[in-house]
Structure formats: C-alpha cells, structure tokens
Amino acid sequence: MTLKNQFSSFDLECGTDEAGRGCLAGPVTAAAVILPQKFDNLLLNDSKQLSKKNRNVLKPIIETEAISFAVQHIFENEIDNINILNASIKAMHGSIAQLKVEPNYIIVDGNKFKPFGNIPYTTIIKGDSKYLNIAAASILAKTYRDAYMDKIHEEFPMYNWKQNKGYPTKAHRAAIEKYGVAKYHRKSFRLLPEQYRLDL
C-alpha cells in the first residue's frame, strides 16, 4: 500500500508518533516531522514493518529532507508519576514544541491525544502505515530510542537492552527476577507477574 503524503490540505502538516510505550524500562520517545508536500520515498513505511538497517538508512534522509523534525524522551520516573498514556502524549507535545516551524495541522498515530495550543489535529489508528509524515516520525522515535537503550545497556548489560530494547521478553523478565530492578525500570509497570500476588 502506498502511503499518502498528508491527511489535510494545510501546507505545514506535522505527523507525530511514539516508540517504547509497552516497554518495562527506559523512556517513551516521540518524534514530530513536517515533510515537504512533494516528499517521496518508496522505502518509507511504518517503522515496525522495516528492518533495523532500513530504519537507519531512512533516518538521515528524513532529517535532511524534512522541513522540520524533533524528538523528545520522557523518562521512567515521569512515566511512573503521570502514567504511560499521559507520558506518551507529553512526549508528542514536547517534540511538536521543538519544531523550528510551527505546524498548522497535526496528525497523530493512534486514537489518544490532547489539544496542542490551538492547532487542529486528527488521530489516526495505524496512521504510521497510512501517512508518510507519521511513518517518518515513527522511524525517528524508534531509532533515537533504540540508540538510548543501546547506551544504557552498557551500564546494565545483564538485562540485554541492546537486544530487547526494554520490551517484556521472557529473558528480560528472567533477568529482573535474577538481578532485581534497575534505576531505568518503570516501577509502575508489572515487571514480574508474581509481584502482584500477595502472600496472605
């Protein structure tokens, strides 16, 4: 399926998406991207459909050709304080706020968002597989977050974040059981199924 350039008729439409919402560790990361209306790239697709190699090929192309782009991390302490949904929206708002050019329309991957100033917006389920600007945002969010997880992996290699990126794999949960919780873990998440069982 060919992705569409944009949803609205506005000339500066921004796409935004996040990565890492379902992870047990690390930040939730969002990106916002405004692409030129005539932007075209046959490789560009939803980041989940792309190999790591292709995401890394596309990242500099998006950064070079975008009218403006920005990325924002919201870290685990704040996720624990305000919950993952609010943190995801805050990350999207933060990335939009950093754009060098103010968008006049926002399209959001998913079905949850809060107004950003007075800019009109539309939420689009599976928007990252429908619109180029959301797909571009999904790639930047994913590549920047992955790079961060690779970095903190060096500090705590036992959790293998370089491989699992903080997602709840069996091996990641086994490592939490064996080594306990690291400072990058989200304490409000169900890190181990057993932690919710009460010894009565």
Per-residue pLDDT tens over the stretch 25-59 = 999 999 999 999 999 998 988 778 899 999 999 99
Nearest to 161 by CA among 140, 186, 193: 186
pLDDT confidence band for 198 (50 / 70 / 90):
very low
Residue 68 backbone phi and psi in degrees, to 5? -160, 150
3-class secondary structure, 70: strand
d(CA 89, CA 110): 11
Vertex 109: Cα angle to 140 and 142 (nearest 5): 25
Overall domain count for the chain: 1
pLDDT of residue 1: 63
Question: What is each CA distance from 63 to 70, 136, 144, 150, 162, in whole angstroms?
Answer: 9, 9, 12, 21, 24
Amino acid (1-letter code) at residue 105: Y
d(CA 193, CA 84): 19
Give the range of the structural domain holding residue 21, as residue numbers without chain letter. Answer: 13-190
Total-model pTM:
0.94
* Averaged pLDDT, 120-147: 97
* Averaged pLDDT, 132-151: 97
pLDDT of residue 48: 82
**Angle between helical axes of 52-65 and 132-155 (0-180°, round to 10):** 120
List the CATH number of the domain containing 105: 3.30.420.10
Residue 199 belongs to some domain of the structure: no
Residue 196 belongs to some domain of the structure: no
